[in-house]
Homo-oligomer: A and B are copies of this chain.
Amino acid sequence: MAATPHIVIIGGGFAGLWATRALASAPVRITLVDRHNHHLFQPLLYQVATAGLSAPDIAAPLRHILRRQKNVEVRLATVTAIDANAKCIALDDGATLAFDELLLASGATHAYFGNDHWAQHAPGLKTLDDALDLRRKLLFAFERAEAATDPAEREAWLSFAIVGGGPTGVELAGTLAEIARETLKDEFRNIDPSQARVRLIEAGPRVLATFPETLSEKARRQLEHLGVEVVLGTPVKDIGAEGYTLGDTFVPAKTVVWAAGVAASPLGAMLDVPLDRAGRVLVQPDLSIPGHPDIFVAGDLASLMRANGKPVPGLAPAAKQMGRLVARNIRARLRGEATAAFTYKDYGNLATIGRMAAVVDLGKLKFSGALAWWFWLVMHVFFLIGFRNRLVVLLNWSWAYWSYQRAARIILGDRDDPSAPDRT
């Protein structure tokens, strides 16, 4: 009797987790490696950053999700090397795992386009830790403004910039404007939080560039209605501790958030196959990599063109679909059958902007405003993993909706905040 094939899956995001689940009944032994102990519902990460939800509301332990799937072992570790020829990976805890089939689905991270020194002044949003760091930064800014005695310093603390007009930038800008205008109302004595300047800066000609132009325009108008200043067609030239440079103008701002660039996980480069400009792996139609039919890449790390000449988007539904196809192809290979090519089923595209503001593109059907927001809300709560999280999230949102309050406005981990040296 042959040994049970060992499948190693790197990354417990949408692609990796959906592939793992789709292999539940397969005669294999799976090791799922992730450097976090949880699966993260990334579409709601901005809500944690803006204090609407708690970190555990949008995350669930991978072990718990997979506790009944007996052919899976979850391993909390960071991958330090991948040897495609020797068919093994190395972990930071010293272990080496040999695999028969590998799925690499380690996702994406921020990219600063060669301006890595901007990272310390303009953090991005990819992990729960990022979200909590950002929450602390945003809430601290109002505290600093309240304590400031110099008017120019106060203004700089009340000046916020979000760089990048994609979905994350739009969500952050809209929600931050709502916090300044509504949530913090009446809470300060020396400042008026609604005077905060929230700027969304996009180098391209419109926000939400992956949406139809009409919806981009609607999104821009909804943002402005919420109090966001939208700056289009102007790239940021520099970002420092005291502000940013837009064109030739220096704008004082103590809080800049980076939502402009995404780069593939550095693990892609370990495969030693061609990458695209963003570092993503150029996969074969069946999601395997050239020369290694036993190694697959899925999710945000995979670069693949659709039949219509457009790339498969870096969205959760695409990652889930890829994960499922990889599971199917692994099963096919174990039976000695041919693998299938990936086809992306496009169910549409949605982006939320703020209270009662969103845009929805379902192909033939496009709409925006309150209806789009409700549609977005229902879809997102529905897709959240786990019954309990859905309930808590709905409750938090109902509360936030009726009271304008945000439940998670707790500044944590301040001892690590460089601007707060003595808070121990």
Interface residues of A (CB under 8 A from B): 35-38, 51, 54-57, 59, 61, 63-64, 67-68, 73-78, 80, 92-93, 95, 128-129, 132, 139-140, 143, 146-147, 149, 184-190, 388-389, 391-392, 395-396, 399, 403, 405, 407-416, 421-423
Contacts and interface: CB of A to CB of B under 8 A. Distances in A.
Contacts of A143: 37, 76
A129 B414 CA distance: 8
B422 A56 contact: no
B147 A411 contact: no
Nearest to A95: B147
A73 B186 CA distance: 11
Given A392-B395, A392-B407, A399-B388, A414 B36 contact: yes
A75 B391 contact: no
Contact of A423 (B35, B140, B187, B407): B35
B56 A407 contact: yes
Contact of A412 (B73, B128, B147, B410): B128
Nearest to A58: B410
A67 B193 CA distance: 13
A93 B147 contact: yes
Contacts of A68: 186
Contacts of A128: 410, 412
A187 B63 contact: yes
A408 B78 contact: no
A267 to B, nearest CB: 13
A-B pairs, top 8 by smallest CB distance, nearest first, are: A54-B54, A56-B408, A63-B187, A76-B143, A37-B411, A92-B422, A67-B186, A73-B189
13 contacts: A54-B55, A55-B410, A63-B184, A64-B405, A67-B185, A67-B187, A76-B140, A76-B411, A92-B422, A95-B147, A132-B413, A388-B396, A395-B395
A128 B54 CA distance: 13
Contact of A147 (B54, B76, B140, B187): B76
A412 to B, nearest CB: 6
Contact of A416 (B51, B95, B188, B416): B416
A422 B132 contact: no
Contacts of A189: 73
B409 A78 contact: no
Contacts of A410: 37-38, 55-56, 59, 61, 128
Given A388-B407, A410-B55, A412-B55, A64 B187 contact: yes
